[in-house]
Amino acid sequence: MPKVSAVHIATRKQQIIDASFRCFARKGFHPTTMHDICTDAGLSAGAVYRYFASKQEIIASACEASQEPPNSELLANAQKTPETKERLHGLIDAFFTRLEGLGATILNRALVQVWAEAVINDNVRGVFKERQAKMADGIKEIVTESQRRGDLRTTLDPNAIVQAMFALYDGFRLQKAIDSDLPSEAYVEVVKALLTGALWTGSPPSPTSGEA
Residue 37 domain-assigned (yes or no): yes
Q: Averaged over 140-159, what is the pLDDT?
A: 92
Q: At what angle do helices 55-66 and 6-27 cross, to 10 degrees?
A: 90
Q: Are residues 179 and 122 in the same domain?
A: yes
Domain total of the chain: 2
Q: What is the per-residue pLDDT for 67?
A: 65
pLDDT tens, residue by residue, 97-120: 778 887 888 888 888 888 888 888
pLDDT tens, residue by residue, 53-87: 888 888 878 777 776 666 566 667 777 777 888 88
Kindly report the backbone phi and psi dihedral angles of residue 195, in degrees, each rounded to the nearest multiple of 5, phi listed first.
-80, -15
Of 210, 205, 169, the closest CA to residue 188 belongs to: 169
Helix and strand totals (H; E) in the chain: 10, 0
Q: What is the per-residue pLDDT for 148?
A: 92
pLDDT for residue 161 is more than 90: yes
Whole-angstrom distance, CA of residue 198 vs CA of residue 125? 36
Kindly report the backbone phi and psi dihedral angles of residue 105, in degrees, each rounded to the nearest multiple of 5, phi listed first.
-60, -45
Question: What's the CATH number where 16 sits?
Answer: 1.10.10.60
Whole-angstrom distance, CA of residue 125 vs CA of residue 127? 6
Whole-angstrom distance, CA of residue 211 vs CA of residue 155? 6
The pLDDT-based confidence of 1 (bands split at 50, 70, 90) is very low
Residue range(s) defining the domain that contains residue 89? 68-196
pLDDT tens, residue by residue, 8-27: 888 999 999 999 989 988 98
